[in-house]
Structure 1
């Protein structure tokens, strides 16, 4: 800027810091450059210095600040809500799936509602646990229940009762004995009693029978052919033996036969004896009805047995023989006597 200095030198020196020669006769103009501060909106680029490369590297190397993450701690309340959850070193683990879970309620709840967890849980419920075999009290009760069910099934056979009774008898026992843990755990019906008879009692009875026949090898057979309501022919076989105490009769089997011929009946009985390791040579007697198929002297069943063991004593059915004798005697009596007897029966 241009300043007019016509005053004394003292004023000029105060203003500009330099002495200026003055003259009364002449007017001199002095040009001086003065720097004033710029406004903050428009910085003075002429006086600003650029940052060096070292300063730029210092700013670039500083990483951004990370947000602080909140870690949830394990809460014991979760153990009450999820029984199969356990805490190991403050980390939740599912005992059923054997899986480590995030320590978060929503993740744990989502896992226990998943299909895979429910499937494994259902499998675990039906799996027999090892402690059931180790615990002597539970094992004793379980064995007692099995023994009670077998005794009830044998009770039906002993008193010739129907299997249908087993649908109601266990419930009656449980209601009569409410303080018995064995009675409460009885789970047997008609189907189970039938299976116990076929798969357990029959095998046990045959094993006991074989043991007696190994000691006392002599035996007798009582056989009879029958036809059921479905027109299927079957052969019932009963064996009689002595067990050093008394004579006993035991049911040996009920076998379905193709037809009622003497050959078919003989082969059926022979196969049954062979399957149970019973020889025909040890047979001492044979009992059957008096039909020609059984007692025929040429092709009857008793004839085929005597071909193998000639010492067999054959005896026809006494009841059948008595019926034949009574029928033959009634023919000789007057018809009025028979009608009189029938009228007496019909009257009462």
Structure 2
């Protein structure tokens, strides 16, 4: 007697013209297969499959899927000029505004440029524009970027952020020498979702992005980050972990963030706390009351011959250098604010107005703010130069050194010098 053995499903059957449209394998059981048309299970034997294909039941179930019964869909032919126009508009939308604008913009183009070449069959809405951006433009520019980088060394700028759904994302920009433009360029590389926001999760996301973009980790020469401990931690920061795999890696900390931290720590240790109260509560006094704003506008107009006051500036909790613009605005309106709070303490009988009036009458507070205005003004000037897109690195270094010398001349006693590391 012949020995029976179990036959298994073969992957090449799915490519056979006789089976590819209706035969499917059963996940987890290679001895079975399924007929898509008849919704029945068959044994994975070639003879049984062929026998089923010849049955009346299968032939009847197959007829609705036959290509002979389905007519071809008459798609309208669109000229290449129309494709170019749609691509140009999609590129404009991707660079300058949101996809929602394209519904109105496409109608405007059709009306305004109806007789122009390429606008006769022009039809572009949000769905089509999104498809062009994702499936045509993005792969094109991604491919161009990979070709431009080639096997060169490069640096990365990385930072964490949240989108509108509070999903953690890692933004990655790349800095390299562009052979096509003959200069060093900085451009967007990737935006990666972060399942975990610790140093391990960031490192894994960074490596995954480099792999997807065809870049080698060993070609990475430097990373630029903010001063967060998760990025710059000595023992388990992102830089420390990457350094174990890339020994030549250099860390470039954000100078703007360093200036922010330096100013924040210096003011927290050396300046009176009541100045912070003065700046915050002056803004809060007017922020939720239209009546107070109207009364102050009337006082300001009487003192300044009909002119309207500039709005006071809110003090940011995360960027301490924003206090510079808030201080400047308060100093510009010191007399008017003092007069307003002097009247408000009697009219509203408010304790906060009483305190603020006393602080505006104190000349020491005014002197401190004038001193801070010049100190923070110089720091802000250097900070904005580092934030600029086009700058000469050598000039930035000289500006930074000049700032340190200027601070020394204003803060230190004449004849004193800074010690190394202080």
Q: Which TM bucket (shorter chain)?
A: 0.5 to 0.7
Matches of 2:74 and 2:69, distance apart in 1: 10
Give the aligned partner of residue 272 of structure 2: 334
Q: How far does residue 230 in structure 1 lie from its aligned partner after superposition?
A: 2.5
Matches of 2:251 and 2:240, distance apart in 1: 10
Give the aligned partner of residue 140 of structure 2: 204
Give the aligned partner of residue 164 of structure 2: 229
Q: How far does residue 189 in structure 1 lie from its aligned partner after superposition?
A: 1.8
Higher percent of residues as helix: 2
Aligned residue pairs total 216
Q: How far does residue 123 in structure 1 lie from its aligned partner after superposition?
A: 4.0
Matches of 2:157 and 2:209, distance apart in 1: 13
Q: Deviations over 1:157-178 (max 9, x none)?
A: 333x111111111111111122
Give the aligned partner of residue 149 of structure 2: 213
Give the TM-score taking structure 1 as reference length: 0.56
Structure 2 matches for 1:152-167, cutoff 5 A?
152-159=89-96, 161-167=97-103
1:185 to 99, 105, 121: 121
Give the TM-score taking structure 2 as reference length: 0.47
Query: Could you list the runs of 5+ residues in structure 2 that have no partner in the other structure?
Result: 1-67, 284-311, 314-329, 334-422
Does the Cα contact within 8 Å between 1:170 and 1:183 map onto a contact in 2? Answer: no
Q: Deviations over 1:135-157 (max 9, x none)?
A: xxxxxx62111111111121123
Q: How far does residue 339 in structure 1 lie from its aligned partner after superposition?
A: 4.6
State the SS of the aligned residue for 1:182. coil
Structure 2 matches for 1:14-33, cutoff 5 A?
none
Matches of 1:202 and 1:212, distance apart in 2: 15
Q: How far does residue 180 in structure 1 lie from its aligned partner after superposition?
A: 2.3
Does the Cα contact within 8 Å between 1:234 and 1:256 map onto a contact in 2? Answer: yes
Superposition RMSD in Å: 2.6
Give the aligned partner of residue 190 of structure 2: 253
Q: Which moved more, 1:175-184 or 1:293-302?
A: 175-184
Give the aligned partner of residue 241 of structure 2: 304
Matches of 2:254 and 2:162, distance apart in 1: 18
State the SS of the aligned residue for 1:241. strand
Q: How far does residue 292 in structure 1 lie from its aligned partner after superposition?
A: 1.2
Instruction: Tell me, yes or no, if structure 1 residue 239 matches structure 2 residue 177.
Output: no
State the SS of the aligned residue for 1:220. strand
Give the aligned partner of residue 206 of structure 2: 269
Go from structure 1 to structure 2 and tell me whether the alpha carbon gap of 1:336 and 1:304 turns closer, same or farther (over 3 Å shift): same
Go from structure 1 to structure 2 and tell me whether the alpha carbon gap of 1:277 and 1:181 turns closer, same or farther (over 3 Å shift): closer
State the SS of the aligned residue for 2:158. strand
Matches of 1:265 and 1:232, distance apart in 2: 14
Q: Deviations over 1:31-56 (max 9, x none)?
A: xxxxxxxxxxxxxxxxxxxxxxxxxx
State the SS of the aligned residue for 1:184. coil
State the SS of the aligned residue for 2:150. helix
1:175 to 89, 108, 111: 111
Q: How far does residue 302 in structure 1 lie from its aligned partner after superposition?
A: 0.7
- Structure ID, larger Rg: 1
Query: Could you list the runs of 5+ residues in structure 1 that have no partner in the other structure?
Result: 1-119, 133-140
